Amino acid sequence: MLTEDNLESLQEVVAIWNEWRRKYQGAEANSYGAKLINANLSYANLNGADLHRANLRGANLKGANLSGANLTGANLTGANLSQSNTMAANFHNATLTGACIQDCNFHGATKLDAAICEYVD
């Protein structure tokens, strides 16, 4: 699991992660409760990832693929979700206060109405 303590070279980690996701497309990506505060996950392939209760406060998720991700109870306060794909993602009880959602694709996302939202464009 990725934490703040082991994110020294996050761009390399994202590249390795995306390659792993391409190679093992059917594998489950479980990051339940991950602490990724202010992490740079721009353009990361998090398709179908279990980010349930993850702390993504202030994270840069610009252009990330979060389609089908489980973001139940996740803290996305102040996160940059611009240009990200959150199609069919689950946001039940997620916090999106101050999140940037410019050009974000929420088509088919579930439980957005139950998320705590104060969006920033």
pLDDT (tens digit, 0 to 9) for every residue of the chain, 121 residues total? 545 554 444 455 556 555 655 655 654 555 556 788 999 999 998 988 889 999 999 999 999 999 999 999 999 999 999 999 999 999 999 999 999 999 988 888 887 765 666 555 5
Report DSSP state, residue 113: G
What is the pTM assigned to this prediction?
0.72
Cβ neighbours of residue 91 under 8 Å, at least 6 residues apart? 71, 72, 74, 109, 110, 111, 112, 114, 115
